[in-house]
Amino acid sequence: MSVSCNTESPKAKEFDSNFAHVVYFWLKNPDNQEDCRAFEASLKKFLSTSEYAQTKFIGQPANTPREVVDNSWTYSIILTFPSKEVQAKYQQEPVHLKFIEESEHLWEKVQVYDSVGL
Amino acid sequence: MSVSCNTESPKAKEFDSNFAHVVYFWLKNPDNQEDCRAFEASLKKFLSTSEYAQTKFIGQPANTPREVVDNSWTYSIILTFPSKEVQAKYQQEPVHLKFIEESEHLWEKVQVYDSVGL
């Protein structure tokens, strides 16, 4: 499902295997179109303007029907960074803090997995 | 931590935002070097020969110290595909089934998140 909004979609970039930051968001009202539109617009605005995030993937559950697959979340993001230090800067980036301020009332749970490449 | 082995490391490729397949593995003995080396060798051999997986990221926990971050797993993979259908083919790929057969005795839990791009 995709919604139309006035924000520019972030572009996928070459995957940087130094650091992958993956987040799953569970919205409070995943079936509420207004909440979804507001979340997507805020997230796209943020990622389009972040100067630190490389690969900027926004996803929704593919609903692959296997027991080991978690499909209970509402949105995912996969971002990559050239280093752990740059990801730390991203955490404090003003556009990131603004996104959290704008949208945290929409989610009930966030789960993060941070990986460094082998 | 990186180990030396005779297998070729898979190359990162352009991120395909159509389908992202993310897996976290919890090894039974994450501190056992022999188990880790065997798992890594089997996984790298598999990913180097898979004809369907695009981006082929193998990671370990970055141990970022935040409450929302899960650092309890041992290895992660982030793979991308041009479509849900191609990912379904990957699930049945002989080199994938061989990897599971070789290595499933090493892990105690697998958690999968499959995303389609917005």
Give residue A13's pLDDT.
Answer: 60
**Pairing, β B56-61 against β B107-117:** unpaired
Give the model confidence (pLDDT) of A75-116 as tens digits: 999 999 999 999 999 999 999 999 999 999 999 999 999 999
pTM of the model: 0.89
- Whether A114 sits inside 8 A of B64 (CB atoms) is yes
Binned at pLDDT 50, 70 and 90, residue B12 comes out as low
Asked if residue A118 has pLDDT above 50, the reply is yes
- Whether A69 sits inside 8 A of B19 (CB atoms) is no
Give residue B66's pLDDT.
Answer: 87
- B117 reaches A (C-beta below 8 A): yes
Contact between B68 and A110 under an 8 Å Cβ cutoff? The reply is: yes
Amino acid residing at B25: F
- Whether A59 sits inside 8 A of B117 (CB atoms) is yes
SS3 per-residue string spanning chain A: CCCCCCCCCCCCCECCCCEEEEEEEEECCCCCHHHHHHHHHHHHHHHHHCCCCCCEEEEEECCCCCCCECCCCCEEEEEEECCHHHHHHHHCCHHHHHHHHHHHHHEEEEEEEEEEEC
Asked if residue B85 has pLDDT above 80, the reply is yes
Per-position DSSP letters for B62-101, written without gaps between them: -----TTB----SEEEEEEES-HHHHHHHHT-HHHHHHHH
Please count the other Cβ atoms lying within 10 Å of the Cβ belonging to residue A103: 19
Cα–Cα distance for residue pair B50/B90, rounded to 1 Å: 8
